[in-house]
Amino acid sequence: MPAFQHSFDPTTLREYDIRGIVGKTLHSADAFAIGRCFGSIVARGGGKLVAVGYDGRLSSPELEAALVAGLTACGLEVARVGCGPTPMLYYATYALKADGGVMVTGSHNPPDYNGFKMMLGKKPFFGAQIQEIGRMAAAGDVVAEAQGNDRQVDMAEDYIARMLQDYDGGERKLRVVWDPGNGSGAEITKALVARLPGEHTVINGTIDGTFPAHHPDPTVAANLEQIIAEVARQKADLGIAFDGDADRIGVVDDEGHILFGDQLLIVLARDVLKSHPGGTIIADVKASQVLFDEVAKAGGTPLMWKTGHSLIKSKMAETGSPLAGEMSGHIFFADKWYGFDDAPYSALRLLGIVARMSGKLSDVRKALPQVINTPELRFNCAEERKFEVVAEVKARLAGEGASVQDVDGVRVLTEDGWWLLRASNTQAVLVARAEASSDAGLERLKAHLVRHLTASGLEAPDFSGANAGH
C-alpha cells in the first residue's frame, strides 16, 4: 500500500474548483491531500514555488495550514500571502513568478462551505485536471516525501500599488459606497479607497466569516438592498459590492439601479475598445443580445462563449481578448492587467470611466436598448439527466429548423428574442433564461421553452413574476 493514499467525497471535485461543506464533505485531510497531489504535479513539471492565500471563513486558517503541509511535503517552497481576496493570490502568482497558486475559499457559498481554486503557472487549473487530483490521491501517485519550506509574504501593498497605476480618472472627486460584504476583500477595499480621490464609504468592511450583514453574493438583488439604500442616502455617484472572495463585482448606479454583468461589460468595453479597436470582447451565453450588439457598434468583435471563469480565461488567452465578462459578475481585464477575474481592479477601472464621464452612470444605463428578460432560472435535474435533456432539446430544435447557437447548451434565436437552456457544470440543475423586446414576445419564448422541457419529461420552472426590464 502506498505511503500516502486518500479518497475525496466525489461531490467536492467540481469543474472549476474543489468545494464542499466543512466537516461533512470537506476536511483538513482533504486539504493536505490537495497539497500533496497538486504539489506533485508542480514538482514533476520542474516547479519549485507555490503561492497560497485564504479567505475570511472561519475554517480557512486550518485548511490553509493543512494545504501548506501537503505542498511542503513535496519539497516545495510555499509563499503564504495570508488572508485576502482571491485576485490578490492570482496577482501574487504572477508577481512572485510562482509555478502555481492555490486559494482557500468558499467564494460566495454559505459560511459552512469552503474550497480551493488553483492556478498552474499562469493558467487556470480546472476540469480534467481537478479529476486527476482525485485519481492521484486514490492511487497514492505522488512524489516521494521531501522537506520543503514556507514563508509569509505580504502582497497587499504591492497589489494595491499596482492597481493604482491604472487609475485614469484624474482628480474628479466621486462619491462612492463600497460593500465588500464582510468578505476577504474588506481590508484591501479600505486600503485602496484611502488612496483614491473622492469621498468613499465602506460598509460591512470587517472580515467576518459568518457574513452577519447579508449573504456575500452581489448577483442576488436582495444582497444589494443595503448598498442601494446607502447610495440613495448619500446621493452617491455609484455603489460597488464584492462577493465573499472579491473575484465578482456588483454595481449600483446613482439612481440605485443594478447594473447587471452584461450592462457593466458594455460600459467597460466601450472604453477598452478605444485603445484596442476591433478587439475581441468575450461574454458568456447568458448575456443579453444588447451586449453583443453594443460591442459590435463600438467597433469590437463580440464573442459568445461558455459560462465558467476558467473557460473564459482560457478563451481570452487563445483569442488575445483584452476584456471579458460573465453575467455572474466575473470581469477579466487583459488590457493593462493579467487576464484573471478581479473585482477590486474592475471597480478601479469603472471609477476611472465614471470620473471621465460628462453625465451620470444612470444616463448610460438608460440609453441602452430596453429589453425585457427573465433572471437566471435554475431548476433541479438529475446529474445523469441534465446533459441528456439539453441534447434532446437540441435534436428537436434541429427538426424544427430553429436558429440555434450551441456553444454552451442551446440558445434559440427567434423574431421575439432568445431563450437559453444549459446544464450547470457544478450542480444537478438546468439553467434557463429568456429575453425579448416585448412582454408578448417574452411569453412566446417562455412557452416555446416550456414545450421542450415538457417533451423531455421535465416540469417547467416557475416563470411567474420572472420578467424584468434590463
310 and 170 inside one domain: yes
Determine the angle formed by the axes of helices 261-275 and 289-297, rounding to 10 degrees.
Answer: 10
**Dist. CA 331–CA 306, nearest whole Å:** 14
Residue 436 lies in a domain: yes
150 and 220 inside one domain: no
CATH number at residue 308: 3.40.120.10
Whether 192 contacts 202, CB under 8 Å: no
Residue 4 lies in a domain: no
363 and 282 inside one domain: yes
399 and 277 inside one domain: no
Annotated catalytic residue 107? yes
Q: Which CA distances in Å does 126 have to 43, 226, 269, 406?
A: 18, 35, 27, 22
Express each pLDDT in 19-53 by its tens digit: 999 999 999 999 999 999 999 999 999 999 999 99
**Dist. CA 416–CA 436, nearest whole Å:** 5
Provide the pLDDT for residue 268: 98
**Dist. CA 104–CA 88, nearest whole Å:** 12
Q: Which CA distances in Å does 155 have to 48, 53, 148, 340?
A: 19, 10, 21, 17
Angle among Cα 437, 442, 443 to the nearest 5 degrees reads 150
149 and 39 inside one domain: yes
Express each pLDDT in 97-156 by its tens digit: 999 999 999 998 999 999 999 999 999 999 999 999 999 999 999 999 999 999 999 999
**Dist. CA 305–CA 226, nearest whole Å:** 33
**Dist. CA 35–CA 28, nearest whole Å:** 11
Cell of 184: 476577504
328 and 385 inside one domain: no
Residue 310 lies in a domain: yes
Residue 188 lies in a domain: yes
Which of 60, 107, 328, 346 is catalytic? The answer is 107
Q: Domain limits at 432?
A: 372-469
| CA-based nearest residue to 268, from 330, 320, 319, 215 | 330
**Mean pLDDT across the stretch 306-329?**
95
- In the chain, the amino acid numbered 369 is P
Whether 241 contacts 179, CB under 8 Å: yes
133 and 274 inside one domain: no
459 and 333 inside one domain: no
132 and 250 inside one domain: no
**If pLDDT is split at 50, 70 and 90, which confidence band does 58 have?**
very high
258 and 392 inside one domain: no
Express each pLDDT in 166-175 by its tens digit: 999 988 899 9
Residues 428-446 as b/e (b if ≥16 CB within 10 A, e otherwise) read ebbbbbbbbeeeebbebbb
Cell of 201: 464609504
How many domains does the chain divide into?
Answer: 3
Concatenated DSSP letters for 336-373?
A: SS-SSB-HHHHHHHHHHHHHH-SS-HHHHHHHSPP-EE
Q: Which of 367, 389, 412 is the last residue of a domain?
A: 367
Express each pLDDT in 333-363 by its tens digit: 999 999 999 999 999 999 999 999 999 999 9
Residue 449 lies in a domain: yes
104 and 122 inside one domain: yes
Express each pLDDT in 357-399 by its tens digit: 999 999 999 999 999 999 888 889 998 899 999 999 999 999 9
Question: How far does the chain reach from its first CA to its final CA, in angstroms?
Answer: 59
Residue 26 lies in a domain: yes
214 and 352 inside one domain: yes
Residue 446 lies in a domain: yes
- DSSP-derived pairing of the beta strands 175-179 and 149-152: unpaired
Residue 2 lies in a domain: no
